[in-house]
Structures are given as C-alpha cells and as structure tokens.
Structure 1
C-alpha cells in the first residue's frame, strides 16, 4: 500500500482510508473490527470517524457509536500505534449534539474530550471541523450562494479563537494535527492566513467529497491545495455506491444504502445513471473493475493524499483491497475526461 505525507505534519498515511460511518448501524461491531484487521493486513493504516457517526440513519441513540467501536478495537488489539486516527467536531444543525450549536472556542475542548473517551486513546492524530459555521457547498448545497448568513468579522474572530484552543490541545498532546472538512477555497485560505498571523496549528488537510461524479474540487480548491501544500482527503470516492453500478436499471440491492436513503443524499437525479453508464462503459472496454477504476482515478489526482471509502460488509472490503497499486493509463484518463465533459455536474 502506497504511503503519502499528510501535508506538512510528518504523519504518513495509506492512500486508502477506512471510513467508519456505517460502524454501529449497517455494520455491527464484530464485522467492523474484522474490517479494521483486514485493512491493516493489506497495509492500510488510516481510519476516519466522527463524533456524529454512525449514519444511515443519524440518531441521538447511536451518536458516537462509531468512535466507541473503533475505541473498543484499539483497546482490545493493543495496536494504537499502528493506526492514524482521524475524527471530527460536528458543526451547527444536529440537535442531539450540543443542542445544534456551532463550533466555538468553548465547544472544541469538550468535543475532543468526548472523542478521546469514546476512542479509548490519549491522542487524536487528525482533528477536523466537520463543516464550517458559515455552511457548506457540499451535499447539494452548491447551487445558490447566499452571503446573507456570512459575516467576515465574526468568521475571522471565530478562526482566531479556535486556533488558540486548538494549539492548547496540541500542547496538551490531545491532537497532533488539524484539518477541515466540507470547506471552501476562501475558508481554507483564511484558516491558513490566520494560523500564520496569530499562531495555532496550520491546516494540514481538507476532507471534501470527490469522485468521478463530483469534481467540484478540481478548480479553485485544487489550485489552492497544490500551491499551499495542503492535501485533500476524498470522501465518497464511489459516490455512495453509484459508481459500482449496483443501482443501474433501477436495482436496489438488499442491505444497500439506497434502501435507507432513497435519493442517496440528493445524488440520485435523472442524469446520474447516464453518467454512471458512461464510466461503466470505460471500465468494460479496458477490462477494469469499475470500483477499482473509480478509486484509482481519485488516487492519481495531484492534490489527493488518501481516498476514504466505506464498506458495509467484509467481502466488499476484500474486493476493494484487490485494487492495491492500480494506476490508470493515459487512454483511460482521456476517456474519463470525455465523459466528465458530457456530464460535468450529474448531481
């Protein structure tokens, strides 16, 4: 498994990362632990979770269970030093987490303490803000920019206060690095500028959605990443399973996410299945597995450090891991570009 530097942190992570958002709902604890063991045997050392997980569904009854399951594995395996653990601080909107309050200087230490307890560890390798207080362009919220909910002065003040608290947590040994998620080019640039101006941990990474079907990162965010040496952790590289082809022709497999979330978070549109077919046809012509092709595409982008994927079952994980080392030819990449031009924004 290829290892990549996590920005300027000195931490090395595998180019594939296990996402744990189904641990505790679709994936029980025994299966979750087996997945972690298998992933490590294949050379993956990177786990991503969050205080709000699991999803499908999100609920107050299960909130934090994914971290608990990872923590139980850490405690029982004794292999804390073999994994890089990333987790996230939820932003505003989830009523069962801090009554839906936004990220504040006061909430950061509280949230870190909660994650440390659930994860049964003394430190978090990468601590991320799950989405900014200003809102996000992810999750199909990119169609209309509304500046009425944004205030530059309060945003910059929040960043300064947050960096001060984050630095204290670094000094206490509770976190090693700081990252963002569902962020914009302006927001990321301001975090970088603020850390340089007032101190605090420099942003190491951004975790945004990125796949053959979702390439919003390819423009201003990509340029920022390359010039600022700030890497992308791509989530949903299989577009919630759409790129596997399993939903083509109206199919909804038993146990699949689409049974629980019919629109797959707004990704199911009249054009998306045509776009998926375009990519599936490339895989067929070149004798590629579509899952492997979709993941390999993300790993060959110049700004990506690691792709975060989730597997509900152990056999799905085993299938994914068979793509280790795959790199797509120029011919395949050229054909991918042509489908992307035809279907640039399928959802």
Structure 2
C-alpha cells in the first residue's frame, strides 16, 4: 500500500480509502465490521464517512447508523489510533438534519459533537464540509449550473463563519484537519486565501467525484490542487458501480445500488452505455478487471491523495483494494485517453 500526505498536515493516508455509505442499509453492522477488519489488515488506514450516511437510500430512520457502526468497531477492536478518520457536516436540504438549514456555526458545533458521540472517539482526523451552501455543479448539476445568481458577499461571510468555527474546534482538539467536498476551484481558493489571511486551518483535501466518466477535476481544480497542495479524495471511482459493467444493456442485479437509487444519482442513463462498453473492452483486451482498471487509473493522477472505494460484498472489497497492485501500461493509458476524447463527460 502506498501512503500520501494529506495536504500540509503531516497526516499520512493510504491511497485507498474505505468508503462507508452503504453501511446501515445495504450492509449490516457485522458486515461493516468485517469490511473494516479486512481493510486495516491490508494496509488501508483511512476511513471516510458522513453524518448523512447511509445513502442507499437516505432516510431519517437510518441516518447516523454508518457512524455508529464505525464507533462500535473502534470500541470492539481498540484500533482508533490505527485509522485516519474522516467525516462530514451535511449541508441543507434534509429536514431531519437540523431542519434542513444551511451550514452555520451552531450547526457545525452540533454536528461535530453528535458525530464524536456516534463514532465513540474524542477527535476526528479530517472534518469536511459536505457541500457548499451556495450550491454545487456536482451531483449531475453541471448541465444547469449558473453561478450568476450567487451572492458573493454572503458566500464569503459564510466561508469566514465556517473557518472561524472549524478553527475553534481544531483548538479544542475535536478535529485535526479540515477538508471540502463537492467544491469548485473558486470556492476552494477562497477557503485557502481566507484561512491564510486569518491564521485559520488550511484546507487539506477536496472530496469530489472523479472517475473515467466524470473528470471535471482534471482542469481548474487540478491546478489549484498542484499549486496549493490540496489533494483530491475521489469518490465514486466506479461511477456508482456502472464501470464494472453490471448495468450494461439494462442489467439490474438484485440488491445492487441500481435497484435502490434507481438512476444512481442521475448517472445511469443511455449516454453512458457506449463509453462504458469501450472501457470494458479495453480492460478485456489487456486482461484487466474492469473495476481495477477504473480504480488504478485514479491512482495514476498527480493530484490524487486517496481513492474512496465502496463495496457491499467482501468479494467486491477484495477486488477494489487489490487495485493498488495494478500497474497500467502506456498502451492502456493511451486507450483511456482515446476513449475520454470521444466521450469527455457522458454522465
């Protein structure tokens, strides 16, 4: 397992991160514990979760179970110090989480304390803003995104409020480092500039979607990541499972995410069929597992801090973790580049 330093924090994280958003719906507590056992035994020292989870599907009844399962695993194994633990404060839109209001100072404090209780720990290594109050072009929002209606003064005031509060929590020892999620290049740079001007915690990472079908990070955000030393934590490296090929030609395997979140967050639609087939054919031509091809590709990117994998079965987890040992040849990388040129953003 390769390890990368998280921003300028000195925190070392495995290049494979264990994602958790299925725990509490698709996975039981015992299954979650089994996944954590296997991951740690195989060099994974980084877990990512969120107060919102599980998300397959989201509901008021299950919200928080994922963090709770991690907490019971820490309690059972005593391995809290073996894990770099990341979680997130939820943004607006869920009425059962702080009445659906935008992220503010009181909400951050409440969310941190609640997560610490569920996780059965007294500190969080990386605390992330799940999505910005002003909205985001992620979650399939790129096609209708329009920043012209954003209020600059209000947005900067909100970023200041978040940074002040996160700085307070770092001083209190409740969190060690901060990160963003579903952010833009402009938003990330503003967090960095304001933090440096005020002596507040500096953004260590950006958790955005990144996979063979969705590579917006390659452009402006990659430039920010390089110059500001802010690594990407890539979520959905398999595009919700689409890049494994299991949904090709209308397939809907029993118990899969496609039978729960039926369009997989807007990803599962006809335009993805042709590029997915091309990537599947490329993998077959070179004797590679399709999932491992997709994950191994993310690990080649210079801005990648860690790739967040998610699995509902141990077989899937073992396949995904083993992607760390897959080296993509120049021919494979050229094949990926050619397919990307034909299908730059099909989801």
TM-score range, shorter chain: over 0.9
Give the structure 2 partner of residue 145 of structure 1: 145
Shift of 1:189: 0.5
- Output the CA distance in 2 between the equivalents of 1:343 and 1:222: 20
1:94-173 to 2 correspondences below 5 Å: 94-147=94-147, 149-173=149-173
Match of 1:184 in 2: 184
| Counterpart in the other structure of 1:31 | 31
Match of 2:240 in 1: 240
2:93 aligned partner: 93
- Could you say which residue in structure 2 is the equivalent of 1:55? 55
Partner residue, 1:291: 291
**Preserved contact between residue 163 and residue 199 of structure 1 (Cα < 8 Å):** no
Q: Which residue of 2 aligns with 1:304?
A: 304
Paired position in structure 1 for 2:270 = 270
Tell me the alpha carbon deviations over residues 210-231 of structure 1, each in whole angstroms, 9 at most, x when there is no partner. 0001101111111111111110
In structure 2, distance between residues paired with 1:213 and 1:149: 28
How many residues are aligned here? Answer: 347
Q: CA shift at 1:149, angstroms?
A: 4.3
Instruction: After superposing the two structures, state which structure 1 stretch, 59-68 or 156-165, moved more.
Output: 156-165
Secondary structure at the aligned position of 2:127 is classed as strand
1:45-64 CA-to-partner distances (Å, cap 9, x unmatched) read: 11000000001110011111
2:208 corresponds in structure 1 to: 208
Aligned: 1:10 with 2:10: yes
What TM-score comes out, normalization by structure 1 length? Answer: 0.98
Q: Residue 163 of structure 1: CA displacement?
A: 1.2
Residues 260-289 of structure 1 show CA distances to partners (whole Å, capped at 9, x for unaligned) of 122111002222011100101110111111
Q: Residue 148 of structure 1: CA displacement? A: 5.2
1:82 is matched with 82
Structure 1 contact 269–346 (Cα < 8 Å) conserved: no
Contact 2:309 2:320 in 1 (8 A): no
Counterpart position of 2:320: 320
Q: Does 1:66 align with 2:66?
A: yes
1:199 is displaced (CA, Å) by 2.2
**RMSD over equivalenced CA pairs, Å:** 0.9
1:74-105, CA deviations, whole angstroms, 9 ceiling, x for partnerless residues? Answer: 11110000001000000111111000001111
Give unmatched runs, 5+ long, in structure 1: none
Separation in 2, partners of 1:324, 1:307: 10
Q: 1:134·1:149 contact (CA, 8 Å) conserved in 2? A: no
